[in-house]
Homo-oligomer: A and B are copies of this chain.
Amino acid sequence: MAKSSSTKSREENGAPRGRKGDRADEIVTAAFEEFTVKGYAGTRLEDVASRAKVSKGLPYLYFKTKEELFKAVVRSVLTPAFDEMRELMLASDLPSEDFLKGPFLAFLQDLVKSRRMLIARLLISEGHKHPELTRFYYDHVVSKGIAALRAFIDRGVERGELKPTGLHDFPQLLVAPALMAVTWRSCSRPMPISTPMSF
Contacts and interface: CB of A to CB of B under 8 A. Distances in A.
Contact of A188 (B38, B121, B127): B127
24 contacts: A37-B128, A38-B129, A39-B39, A39-B40, A39-B41, A41-B41, A42-B129, A123-B187, A124-B125, A124-B187, A127-B187, A131-B188, A134-B188, A138-B188, A142-B187, A166-B198, A167-B198, A170-B191, A170-B192, A172-B191, A173-B177, A179-B180, A179-B183, A180-B180
Interface string A29-43: 000000001111110
A172 B142 CA distance: 25
Interface size class of A (residues with CB under 8 A): 35 or more
> Counting chain B CB atoms within 10 Å of each CB, which of A123, A172, A189 scores highest?
A189
